[in-house]
Chains A and B, each alone.
Chain A
Amino acid sequence: MKTGTSRPSTALETAGLGHRYRQTWALRDCALHIPAGRVAALVGPNGAGKSTLLHIVVGLLTPTTGNVDVLGEPVGQQAAALSRVAFMAQDKPLYEGFTVADILRFGRHLNPQWDNGLAENRLNALGIALKSKVGKLSGGQQAQVALTAAIAKRPHLIVLDEPLANLDPLARNEVMRSLMTEVAETEITVLLSSHVVSDLEDTCDWLILLNGGRVQLCGDIEELLSSHRMISGPVELADRLLEEVQVIDQSRTARQLTCVARIQTSEPVLHPDWSISAVNLEQLVLAYLRRPNVGVLPHPNLASA
Chain B
Amino acid sequence: MLWVTWRQHRTPVLLTAGLLLVLGTILLVHGLLTADFIRDRASAGCPGTGPDCLAFEQEVRLRYQQIYQLIGWLPVAPALIGAFWGAPLLAKEFEHGTHKFAWTQSVPRRRWLTVKFGLLGLTTVLSGLALGGMTTAWLSTFRGTGLGDAFGDKGLFAVAGVVPGAWWLFSFALGVAAGATIRRTLPAMAVTLAVFAVSLFGVFAARPFYAAPQRAVQVSAEVSPLPADAILMKDVWLTTSGQEVSRATMVNAIADACRAVSASVKYYQCAFEEGYTQVVYFHPSTKFWQFQWTETGILVLISLVLGVLAFVSALRRRI
Contact = CB atoms under 8 A, between A and B. Distances in A.
13 contacts: A21-B318, A55-B319, A59-B104, A61-B319, A77-B110, A79-B107, A82-B104, A93-B100, A94-B98, A98-B7, A105-B7, A111-B105, A149-B101
Contacts of B111: 79
Contacts of A85: 104
Looking at B4, B103, B105, B110, which has the most chain A CB atoms within 10 Å of its CB?
B105
A102 interface: yes
B108 interface: yes
A78 interface: yes
A109 B103 contact: no
B106 A60 contact: no
B12 interface: no
B200 to A, nearest CB: 32
A160 B105 CA distance: 14
A82 B97 contact: no
Contact of A111 (B8, B106, B109): B106
A29 interface: no
B259 interface: no
Given A85-B104, A106-B105, 7 more contacts: A61-B318, A77-B110, A82-B105, A89-B100, A105-B3, A107-B105, A113-B106
A15 to B, nearest CB: 22
A109 B101 contact: no
Interface centre among A55, A85, A89, A102 (most CB of B within 10 A): A89
Given A89-B100, A89-B101, A110 B106 contact: yes
**3 residue pairs, one from A and one from B, having the closest CB atoms:** A110-B105, A93-B97, A89-B100
Interface string B1-21: 101100110000000000000
Contacts of B101: 89, 93-95, 146, 149
B98 A93 contact: yes
A204 B96 CA distance: 30
A130 to B, nearest CB: 15
Nearest to B100: A89
Interface string A137-158: 0000000001001000100000
B97 A89 contact: yes
Interface string B236-273: 00000000000000000000000000000000000000
A149 to B, nearest CB: 8
Contact of B100 (A60, A106, A113): A60
Given A89-B100, A93-B100, A83 B106 contact: yes
Contacts of B104: 58-60, 82, 85-87, 89
B107 A82 contact: yes
B105 A153 contact: yes
Contacts of B110: 77
Contacts of B4: 106, 109-110
Contact of B1 (A77, A109, A153): A109
A47 interface: no
B107 A110 contact: yes
A93 B1 contact: no
A82 B106 contact: yes
A295 interface: no
A249 interface: no
A112 interface: yes
Given A94-B101, A98-B7, A153 B319 contact: no
A104 to B, nearest CB: 12
Given A87-B100, A93-B97, A79 B1 contact: no
A111 B102 CA distance: 11
Nearest to B109: A77
B103 A60 contact: yes
Contacts of A102: 7
B135 to A, nearest CB: 34
Interface string B276-319: 00000000000000000000000000000000000000000011
Contact of A60 (B3, B8, B98, B319): B319
Contacts of B8: 95
A106 B7 contact: yes
A60 B102 CA distance: 10
B221 to A, nearest CB: 69
A61 B316 CA distance: 9
A109 B3 CA distance: 8
A201 interface: no
Interface in A63-81: 77-79
B315 to A, nearest CB: 9
A98 B11 CA distance: 12
